[in-house]
Structure 1
Amino acid sequence: MRNEPFPLVTAIRSADLASATRLLRSGADPEERDPAGQTPLMIAAGLGRPQWAELLLTAGADVHAIEPRMGATALHKAAQSGSADVVGLLLDHGAFIDQQTPVLGNTPLMDAVLHKHEAVVALLLARGGRTTIENHWRQSALALATGDGLHAIADLIRERVTAGARSADSRALTEAIKAGDTDRVGDLIAAGAGVDERVPVVGDADDDYTPLGLAAREGQARIVGLLLELGADPRRVNGLMRGTPLHEAAYFGHEDVIRVLTDMTGKDGVPSVEIDAQGAYNGLTALHDAVWHGHTGSVRLLVGAGARLDLRTHAGLTPRELALLYGYAELARLLAAAEETAGSGHPATASPEERSPLPGDRAR
C-alpha cells in the first residue's frame, strides 16, 4: 500500500476500509486526486459506498470539489451510482443540489434520471431539487424521463411539479404584499400565515423570499413596519441571491423602507438590521447596492445610519470606488466627504480621470 502512488485512492477502489481509515488517521490528504482528477469522495460516491463517504467527509473532504474533465461533483457521482444513502449524506454536508456540470449542463437530478435510479430521483425531489432547469440540450429532468420511456420516474417528477406550485396561502400573502394591502397582510398572518415563511421555489422572481424581503423589494414601507412589529427577522436572507431586506431596499432605492429598517432596534438598543452584511455572490453591502444603481438618497440614508465605508466587494471595491467606476461623480464626492469625516484614512479621489486604476477597472 505504501508503495502505491495514490494509496488512499487505491484503498477505496480495493474496498480496504481499514487501510483507508489508517491512512486518514496518519494524515493522508482526503483531497488526493487520481490521474483522472477525481477525489476520494467522488470515487466513494461513484461506487455508492456511504461508509466511505462518511469517513472522508469526517476527515474534511470537500463536498464541493469538481473534477476537471466534465465538471462533476461527488453528488453527481452519487446520483449516477444510485446510492440514495450517499446522496442524502452529501446533501446533509452542504452539497449544491442543483449544481450543473459545465460541459453537459446536467444536475444531479438529471443524472439520476439518465441512470434510471428511481429512489435517488425521489430523494432529490423531496430535498428540493428543481425540475425547471434545462441542460445544454434544453432538456429538463422530465423531458429526459419521458424521452427514455421512464414512466414511473416521469410520474414522480410530474407529482413534484404539481406539489411545488405556490400554495394558496403563500400566493395570497405574496399578492397582498405586492398590492400594498397592509390590512390584508395583517389578516393573513393573524390567520396563520408565517411571518418568516419563505415563498416556495417554483422558478420565478419570488422564489425563496420571506414576506419582509418581498415587501422591502417592492418598496412597501408600511408593510415592512407591520412585519417587523409582528416579529419578522430582518437578518434573514432572501431569494437565490441571498440578500437581506436592506439589500433589497437599497438595490431599488426605496428610501422609506431603508428608514424603517435602519430605525428598528432590539431590546438592547442595537439596530436589528445587519447594515454591513455582504452578499455571498459578489460581496456587496446594502451601501454598495445603493451606489451601484446611483440612488443618492439611499446612499445618504445608509451613510447616516452608520454603514461602513471601507468594506470591499469581491472585485475589491469600496462604495466610493464603485461610484468612481460607474462615473457617479456626486456620489463619489459624497462618500469621499464621509470618509474624511469618519477619519477612515481612504484618500478622496477628485475624478475617475485623475485616479489610478482600481481593482474593478476590468471586465466584470
Structure 2
Amino acid sequence: MNLEASIRAGDLPAAIDLLRSGADVNLIGPEGLSPVMIASGLGQLQMVELLLTAGASVHTIEPRMGSTALHKAVQSGNSDVVGLLLDHGSFIDQQSPVLGNTPLMDAVLNKRQEVVRLLLERGARTTSTNHWQQTALSLAHDDHLDAIARLIEVRIETDAEQISTLALIAAVKAGDIREVERLIAAGTPVNERTPIAGGFDDDYTPLGLASREGHTETVRVLLDAGADPRRVVGLMRGTPVHEASYFGHADVIRALMENPGRAGVPTPEIDAQGPYNGLTALHDAVWHGHTDAARALIDAGARLDLRTHAGLTPRELALAYGYHGLAKVLDEAERG
C-alpha cells in the first residue's frame, strides 16, 4: 500500500508507517493531487493533521483547475479541516485560475453553511468575483440559499459598521489634524486597523494612511502619540515609509525618520523589502521618478545595493525606466 492508497482507505496507522519509512508527503499523484489535497477532500481531520505535521505543503496547486487543499476541504464540508488548513497558512481568498472561485464561493456552491460561517469569521472577502463576475452572495441568491446568503449579508453589514466607527481613520483621511488630536486625547487607539473588506483602504493603520495621503503634520502627531512606523499596512504589506515613497511625499519621509525613539516607538525599517516584489522604499520612490523622495531616503541612510525580486538595484531600476537624472543622483550617492 502506498501513501495515497492509505489515505483513500482512511488507514491512519498505515499512513504513519509509510511516512516513517520515508514516503514523500508532497508526492503528486496521477490526478495531480497531493496527499493533503486528497485527505482534505475526504474530510479526514486526523489524516490532514498527520500530513501537515510531516511537512505537507498547503500551497500546492493541482495542475488542471488550480485548486488547493483548502478548496478541497471546503468541498468536503468539514469545517475542522478548513480551520486546520487556515491555521497552517492556507490563503483564505485564493482563487482557482480556471474558474476564479475562492474557497468561500466553493462553500456556497456546495451548500456548506457551517464552512461559510467559518470562512466569514476568519476574514474571507465577500467582494471577490469569479470569472463569471459572480460573488459568493450572488451565488447564494442564485441557488436560493437564504440562510447562507444572510450569513454573507451580515458580514458585509458588520464590515460597513466597523469602518464607520473608525473615527481616527476618517479624520486622518480627511486631513483634519485638529480632529486627529482630539480623538487621540480621548483615548482612540492610535494603531487601529481597517478591516479587509475589499476596498482601497483595506488593512491600513492611521499612520499608513497619513503617509499615503501626504499629511506630514498628521504623521508627526501620530508618531508623537505612539503610532508604530514598523507595522505593515495595506495588502502589499509595505510600511508607512513605502507608502510615502511610492507617492513621492518627501516631507513625510523626513517626518517618519526624524526623532528616532520618540515615545518609545522604534525607528522605521527604511530598508524593509516588500514580500510581493522585493522593493524597498527607495525602489518605490524610483519606480515613479520621485527624485525628492529618493533624496530624502538617501539622506536617511537607505541602502543603495538591495535588489528587487527582478534583480534590480534602485539605480538600475531608474535606468530601466529612463529616469537618467534620478539614476545620476543614485550613482553619486553610491560613489559617496
Question: Which of 110-119 and 168-177 deviates more?
Answer: 168-177
Instruction: Write the deviation string for residues 238-278 of structure 1: whole angstroms up to 9, x where unpaired.
Output: 11111100000000111111001112412799961001000
Return the offset for 1:190: 3.2
Q: Residue 120 of structure 1 aligns with which residue?
A: 115
In the alignment, does 2:171 pair up with 1:195? no
In the alignment, does 2:270 pair up with 1:275? yes
Amino acid at match of 1:84: S
Please give the secondary structure, in 2, of the residue aligned with 1:223: helix
Q: Residue 250 of structure 2 aligns with which residue?
A: 255
Question: Which of 210-219 and 265-274 deviates more?
Answer: 265-274
* Residues in 2 aligned to 1:269 and 1:91: alpha-carbon distance in whole angstroms: 34
Across the aligned residues of Structure 1 and Structure 2, the Cα RMSD in angstroms comes to 1.7
* Residues in 2 aligned to 1:264 and 1:213: alpha-carbon distance in whole angstroms: 18
Amino acid at match of 2:315: R
Q: Is the 8 A contact 1:258 1:301 kept in 2?
A: yes
Q: Residue 316 of structure 1 aligns with which residue?
A: 311
Q: Is the 8 A contact 1:166 1:200 kept in 2?
A: no
Instruction: Write the deviation string for residues 274-301 of structure 1: whole angstroms up to 9, x where unpaired.
Output: 0100011111000000011111111111
Instruction: Write the deviation string for residues 86-115 of structure 1: whole angstroms up to 9, x where unpaired.
Output: 000011111110110000000000000000
Q: Residue 19 of structure 2 aligns with which residue?
A: 24
* Residues in 2 aligned to 1:268 and 1:151: alpha-carbon distance in whole angstroms: 51
Return the offset for 1:228: 1.2
* Residues in 1 aligned to 2:186 and 2:265: alpha-carbon distance in whole angstroms: 31
Q: Is the 8 A contact 1:170 1:193 kept in 2?
A: no
Q: Residue 174 of structure 1 aligns with which residue?
A: 169
Q: Residue 348 of structure 1 aligns with which residue?
A: none
TM superposition score normalised by structure 2: 0.96
Amino acid at match of 1:198: R
Return the offset for 1:196: 1.1
* Residues in 1 aligned to 2:90 and 2:163: alpha-carbon distance in whole angstroms: 31
Amino acid at match of 2:189: G
* Residues in 2 aligned to 1:77 and 1:250: alpha-carbon distance in whole angstroms: 41
* Residues in 1 aligned to 2:186 and 2:10: alpha-carbon distance in whole angstroms: 56
Return the offset for 1:189: 2.8
* Residues in 2 aligned to 1:267 and 1:27: alpha-carbon distance in whole angstroms: 54
Q: Residue 82 of structure 2 aligns with which residue?
A: 87
Q: Is the 8 A contact 1:9 1:33 kept in 2?
A: no
Instruction: Write the deviation string for residues 43-79 of structure 1: whole angstroms up to 9, x where unpaired.
Output: 1110001111111111111111100000000000011
Please give the secondary structure, in 1, of the residue aligned with 2:200: coil
Q: Give the gaps of 5 or more residues in structure 2.
A: none
* Residues in 2 aligned to 1:221 and 1:166: alpha-carbon distance in whole angstroms: 29
1:156-175 equivalences under 5 Å are 156-167=151-162, 170-175=165-170
* Residues in 1 aligned to 2:186 and 2:246: alpha-carbon distance in whole angstroms: 32
In the alignment, does 2:211 pair up with 1:216? yes
Q: Residue 106 of structure 1 aligns with which residue?
A: 101
Bigger helix fraction = 2
Instruction: Write the deviation string for residues 156-184 of structure 1: whole angstroms up to 9, x where unpaired.
Output: 11111111114266442222112222221
TM superposition score normalised by structure 1: 0.89
Instruction: Write the deviation string for residues 324-348 of structure 1: whole angstroms up to 9, x where unpaired.
Output: 001111111111111122xxxxxxx
* Residues in 1 aligned to 2:216 and 2:179: alpha-carbon distance in whole angstroms: 15
* Residues in 1 aligned to 2:92 and 2:53: alpha-carbon distance in whole angstroms: 20
1:1-364 equivalences under 5 Å are 1=1, 7-167=2-162, 170-266=165-261, 272-341=267-336
Q: Give the gaps of 5 or more residues in structure 1.
A: 2-6, 342-364
